[in-house]
Amino acid sequence: MDPQYIRNFSIIAHIDHGKSTLADQLLLKTGAITEREFHNQILDDLDVERERGITVKARTVALNYKHTDGQMYELNLIDTPGHVDFHYEVNRSLAACEGALLLVDAFQGVQAQTVANAYAAIEVDLEIITVVNKIDLPVTRIDDVLEEVETILGLDPYEALKVSAKKGTNIEDVFQAIVEKVPPPSGKVDNPLTALIFDAKYDPFRGVIVYVRVVEGTLKKGDPVRFMRKAFSDEVIEVGQFRPKGEPCKTLSAGQVGYIITGQKQLDHIDIGDTITHPKEAELITPLPGYQKPKQMVFCGMYPIDSKDFEKLRDELGRLSLNDSSFSFAPETSDALGFGFRCGFLGMLHMEIVQQRLEKEQDVDLIQTAPNVSYEIKMRNGDVVKIDNPQDVPDAGSIDEFREPIARVNFIVPKEHIGSIMQLCAERRGEYRTTEFIGGDRARLEYDLPLAEIVYDMYDKLKSITQGYGTMDYEVQRMEPAELVKMDILVNAERVDALATIVHRTTADRRGRGLCKKLKEEISKHQFQIPIQAAIGGKVIARETISALRKNVTAKCYGGDITRKRKLLEKQKEGKKRMKQFGRVEIPQKAFLSVLSAGEE
């Protein structure tokens, strides 16, 4: 197709501002889906997306739109997630586009992720079309919202479109704006092939399905192709586009978005951000810049409940990391849990989604250890070591400096909650930077906070304090020295490596006591007494004791000589001593996650 009649655009917004509903409305108006399918949020096809009502993966779909002048256009739409943990998905999608629809809620206005996504689109020089959605709400504040668009984002409020994705109001205006404002792709059909891999997924029958944006040249079935980063060649057995399901087509030309299948089943051969070309033209082209590698911020251990499932878990993690390149994993072992993997995520929601996809979609039963962030340690010999597992923290005597990641956090909250947010940040070692009032009733607060204090439950606390109206966005800025220590947990005098955690020295006593109390609640009674201790180095800072399960061994003794009862009790006492010496304590899954809520009371 002639590139001048192609438009590639993305939909970006804060969570729950109606991205998927607008995407479905665009599909409905162009005949890609039926009225019945419209209500199903057809692009959110993962089970976890349906259950949670959020978009987790970016989706692409090609639409045929007939303009009022009679010309047929191909509109390639990419629907993106809104949560801060999936910002990497948004950045990947924007790299395959020339324009973006920026959705703003007609009541909630500009939120934290609206700002982050708008700046991401501006950075890659996209044409931004502002769309005020949900104008059908019984209560709206459209004039205030347009003022926020101008003051916070610096975009022209007079060009903003006012639509209702749910009711289908003014959707034709959106199509007109896409055709008229989004520039066509700059690539030429006659140039040597250059295509960007922006996503991929694994199909057990067909191999890896590679999502591509063709920048220059053409690509068709039977073409030999070279993956430049991995330096291997293959033959295309199918090319196609998503409409919204995959449909084979004859060719993909410059400016078009679609998929190719080569039958490749080696997952490590495909690299997101790689450049595809024809083998004969490989020396004529410069590889595309691709993407920056995402930096995982949260790490946890994932272990199969049944050790026989270790290989299955490895295969499923490999397939998942192909479809989600912001997730990483590496094998590790634990004395308590056996063989498993250390997994890296962009945030807590990202971690929950991956765990849920493994357990529900792939049917893998997991034990997950408490998550932690990545730290840096400067040793006395001058070496700098990166630590993403508390077990790897070296002896305190060899540490010169313990550094933690500091994030710049933007809160947008109703002004009556400013004091509560400031108190929350002060409790979590936050450093205040600025306050800026937005419109009449909201404010933007900026803080520097340790990442460890953000990722666990900051989002939930924020929503609780502000009755759901507060939003936040964060970006890691630097590593900073802090008084951090490794806190070990001993159960029945044995260190449980999977329960070790890194804490700030000032909160260690409180966290230790809280964790011991939680573990006492979670671990069931045994036939012997179980001491639970929190220790820093060789010093125990907190202790709780689970009393022994008592069985009445003298129940059958009615009256008679008291020495008979004493003999039975002494025999029981000796048996419990032996059991304590050889017995192992069973620690349930809940206990490993109790590290999160410890010390919050």
Question: Is position 263 annotated in a ligand binding site?
Answer: no
Q: Is 78 helix (H, G, I), strand (E, B) or coil?
A: strand
Rounded Cα–Cα distance for residues 486 and 504 (Å):
9
Residues in the chain: 601
Question: Is position 285 annotated in a ligand binding site?
Answer: no
Question: Is position 307 annotated in a ligand binding site?
Answer: no
Burial class (CB in 10 A: 0-12, 13-18, 19+), 114: buried
Question: Is position 135 annotated in a ligand binding site?
Answer: yes
Question: Is position 395 annotated in a ligand binding site?
Answer: no
Residue 595, phi then psi, degrees to nearest 5: -55, -35
User: Residue 147 is encoded by which pair of tokens?
Assistant: 């003022």
Rounded Cα–Cα distance for residues 579 and 437 (Å):
65
User: Residue 23 is encoded by which pair of tokens?
Assistant: 């995407």
Q: Is 229 helix (H, G, I), strand (E, B) or coil?
A: coil
Rounded Cα–Cα distance for residues 183 and 7 (Å):
7
Q: Strand 375-379 and strand 471-481: pairing?
A: unpaired
Question: Is position 21 annotated in a ligand binding site?
Answer: yes
The dihedral through the CA atoms of 27, 33, 39, 42 has a sign that is negative
Question: Is position 143 annotated in a ligand binding site?
Answer: no
Q: Strand 127-133 and strand 99-105: pairing?
A: parallel
Spatial contact of 346 and 88, defined as CB atoms under 8 Å apart? yes
Contacts 24+ apart (CB under 8 A), 186-191: 186/3, 187/3, 187/214, 187/215, 187/216, 187/217, 187/254, 187/255, 188/3, 188/216, 188/217, 188/254, 189/3, 189/217, 189/218, 189/253, 189/254, 190/217, 191/216, 191/217, 191/254
Print the SS3 string covering 328-391: EEEEEEECCCEEEEEEEECCHHHHHHHHHHHHHHCCCCEEECCCEECEEEEECCCCEEEECCHH
Rounded Cα–Cα distance for residues 196 and 201 (Å):
15
Question: Is position 16 annotated in a ligand binding site?
Answer: yes
> Which residues sit in the known binding site?
16-21, 133-136
> What are the binding residues for GTP?
16-21, 133-136
